[in-house]
C-alpha cells in the first residue's frame, strides 16, 4: 500500500504486525513525517516512538480532563456551602445565634425563630467549630461544621442532649469522644491531644479545659499542637491565656495591681496583703449567688486568711478590666489562695476546699 496516497491514508491506522511487533497505532497524517513512514517492523522489545508520544499525549489529556472535572465538582460543593436547620423541643422567645469560629475571626449569623424552627445558611473554607446559642438556652451547643446540610434538634432544657446530623466531621468528633466516657475525662482528653496533636478537635478540647488542667500540662499540650490545630480559632486564645497564666503560676508572687473594692474605692493589691496570715483574692459579682456564698465563707475564716473581694460589676471595664485579664479569670467565683508573702499556693481553688487548704498551711 502506498502510504502517501491520501485516500488510503485515512484507512491506515495501524497495519497488522507480526509477533513481537509492538506498534499498535501510528499517526500517518503528520505529513512532514510521512516520508519517514512511522512504523516499520521492529526487533523484539522495540517500540514505535510515535506510539509512545500518542500514549503520553492521551494520558496527559485524560489527567487534565479529570482535574477539570474535580475542580468543578469541588467548586460546586464550596458554592453550595452549609445549611443548618432544625427545630427546638419547645418554642423559645429569644433569637437563636449561629457563631462560626473561622480561623482568626468569628462571625455571627442570626435569625429570629419561626415559632420553634430555625434556618442558617453560609459557607466555610474548611471544617471549623461552630456554636448555637440563645439567652433561652442554659449553655451553647458546640459542634463542628462543614459545607453540608446539617439538621439539629435542640433540647431547650438540656442542650448537651441535642441531636446533630449531617456533618461527617462532627460525627467523627462524637465517635472519638466516646472513648472518654466513664473515665477521668481530664486525663482522657489530655491523652487525646497527645495522640492527635494536629487535629482541630485537640485545640477545642484544650481550650475547654484551661481552667481545670494544671498550667504545666496546658503548656505541654499546647507545645505539641501542629498543622491544622495551629490554624484553628481557639489556638490564639490559648496562647494569650497561657501568657497571662504564667503571671499567676503557683509558687510565684502575684504582681501588684489595682481594682475597685466593694466600697467603690480604687485600691492596690499589695497594700492589702496581710503578712501575718494567708491571703485570698475572690473574684465574683453582686448578682452571682454562689459568689455571695463564697464571700460568706471568707468572713467565716477571717482568722485564718485575709480576703480581698473584686466584684466584676463594680469594675469600670467589667470583664475587660486589666486585673481580671492578668489573673486569667474566665468564670466566677474565682479564688486564689496565697501565703503571707503573697506567693500563690492554689489558683482557682473551690470555696469548699479553702478551709482544708488553710489548715494544711498552718501545720
Comparing 70 with 215, which gets the higher pLDDT? 215
Q: Is 112 exposed, middle or buried (CB count within 10 Å of its CB: 0-12, 13-18, 19+)?
A: exposed
pLDDT of the residue at 93:
83
Q: Read off the pLDDT of each residue in 39-59 and give the average, rounded to a whole number.
A: 51
Residue with cell 437563636: 96
- Rounded Cα distance between 102 and 105, Å, is 6
Q: Span 152-164, mean pLDDT?
A: 93
Res 108: pLDDT? 63
pLDDT mean over 255-273: 87
The residue-averaged pLDDT of 95-107 equals 79
Q: C-alpha grid cell for residue 108?
A: 455571627
**Residues 292/351, Cβ–Cβ less than 8 Å:** no
pLDDT at 202 over 70: yes
pLDDT of residue 303: 84
Mean pLDDT of 343-363: 80
pLDDT recorded at residue 149:
96
Are the C-beta atoms of 84 and 150 separated by less than 8 Å? yes
Which H or E element spans position 163?
A: strand 163-165
Residue position matching grid coordinates 474566665:
330
Considering only residues 230 and 22, tell me which one the structure prediction assigns the higher pLDDT.
230
Q: What are phi and psi of 207, to 5 degrees?
A: -65, -30
Q: Where does the pLDDT of residue 170 fall: very low under 50, low under 70, confident under 90, or very high at 90 and above? A: very high
* pLDDT bucket at 210, cuts 50 / 70 / 90: confident
- As a whole-number percent, the residues of the chain with pLDDT over 70 amount to 72
Q: DSSP string of 326-346?
A: HHT--SSSEEEEE-TTSBEEE
Q: Which residues pair with 143 in a beta bridge?
A: 130
Entry field: residues in the chain: 363
pLDDT of residue 156: 92
Residue 194 confidence (pLDDT):
94
Interatomic CA distance for residues 220 and 214, integer angstroms: 10
Average pLDDT over residues 38-52: 48
Cell numbers given for 357? 487548704
DSSP bridge partners of 98: 109, 132
- Interval 287-327: pLDDT, tens: 888 888 888 888 888 888 888 899 888 888 888 787 777 77
Lowest mean pLDDT among 83-92, 238-247, 290-299, 308-317: 238-247
Task: Please report which confidence band the pLDDT of residue 84 belongs to, taking 50, 70 and 90 as the band edges.
Answer: very high
For residue range 184-195, list pLDDT tens digits in order. Answer: 778 888 899 999
Query: Residue 301, class by beta-carbon neighbours within 10 Å (0-12 exposed, 13-18 middle, 19+ buried)?
Result: middle
**Average per-residue pLDDT for the chain:** 77
Q: Give the integer Cα–Cα distance in Å for 115 and 119.
A: 12
What is the model's pLDDT at position 244?
66
Q: Closest Cα partner for 134 from 107, 101, 111?
A: 111
Per-residue pLDDT of 2-44, as tens digits, reads 444 444 444 444 444 444 444 444 444 444 444 444 444 444 4
Q: Residue 204 pLDDT > 70, yes or no?
A: yes
All three cell numbers of 347, joined, read: 489558683
Higher-confidence position of 37 and 233: 233
318 contacts: CB under 8 Å, gap ≥ 6: 312
Amino acid at each position: 500500500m502506498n502510504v502517501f496516497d491520501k485516500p488510503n491514508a485515512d484507512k491506515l491506522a495501524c497495519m497488522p504486525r507480526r509477533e513481537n511487533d509492538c506498534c499498535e497505532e501510528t499517526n500517518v497524517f503528520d505529513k512532514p513525517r510521512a516520508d519517514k513512514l512511522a512504523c516499520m517492523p521492529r526487533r523484539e522489545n522495540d517500540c514505535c516512538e510515535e506510539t509512545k508520544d500518542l500514549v503520553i499525549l492521551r494520558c496527559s489529556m485524560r489527567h487534565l480532563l479529570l482535574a477539570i472535572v474535580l475542580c468543578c465538582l469541588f467548586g460546586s460543593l464550596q458554592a453550595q456551602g452549609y445549611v443548618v436547620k432544625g427545630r427546638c423541643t419547645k418554642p423559645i422567645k429569644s433569637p437563636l445565634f449561629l457563631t462560626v469560629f473561622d480561623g482568626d475571626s468569628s462571625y455571627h449569623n442570626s435569625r429570629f425563630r419561626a415559632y420553634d424552627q430555625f434556618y442558617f445558611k453560609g459557607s466555610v473554607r474548611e471544617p471549623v467549630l461552630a456554636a448555637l446559642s440563645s439567652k433561652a438556652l442554659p449553655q451553647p451547643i458546640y459542634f463542628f461544621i462543614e459545607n453540608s446540610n446539617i439538621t439539629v434538634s435542640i433540647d431547650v432544657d438540656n442542650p448537651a442532649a441535642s441531636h446533630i446530623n449531617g456533618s461527617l466531621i462532627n460525627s467523627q468528633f462524637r465517635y472519638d469522644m466516646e472513648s472518654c466516657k466513664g473515665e477521668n475525662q481530664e486525663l482522657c482528653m489530655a491523652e487525646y491531644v497527645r495522640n492527635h496533636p494536629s487535629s482541630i478537635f485537640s485545640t477545642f478540647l484544650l481550650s475547654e479545659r484551661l481552667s481545670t488542667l494544671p498550667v504545666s500540662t496546658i503548656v505541654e499540650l499546647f507545645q505539641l499542637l501542629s498543622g491544622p490545630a495551629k490554624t484553628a480559632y481557639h489556638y490564639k486564645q490559648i496562647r494569650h491565656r497561657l501568657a497571662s497564666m504564667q503571671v499567676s503560676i503557683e509558687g510565684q508572687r502575684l504582681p501588684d495591681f489595682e481594682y475597685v473594692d466593694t466600697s467603690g474605692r480604687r485600691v492596690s493589691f499589695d497594700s492589702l496583703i496581710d503578712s501575718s496570715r494567708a491571703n485570698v483574692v475572690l473574684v465574683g459579682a453582686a448578682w452571682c449567688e454562689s459568689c455571695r456564698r463564697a464571700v460568706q465563707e471568707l468572713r467565716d475564716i477571717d482568722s485564718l486568711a485575709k480576703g480581698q473581694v473584686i466584684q466584676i460589676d463594680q469594675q469600670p471595664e467589667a470583664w475587660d478590666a486589666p486585673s481580671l485579664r492578668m489573673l486569667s479569670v474566665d468564670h466566677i467565683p474565682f479564688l486564689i489562695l496565697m501565703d503571707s508573702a503573697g506567693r500563690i499556693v492554689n489558683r482557682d481553688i473551690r470555696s469548699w476546699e479553702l478551709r482544708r487548704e488553710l489548715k494544711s498551711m498552718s501545720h
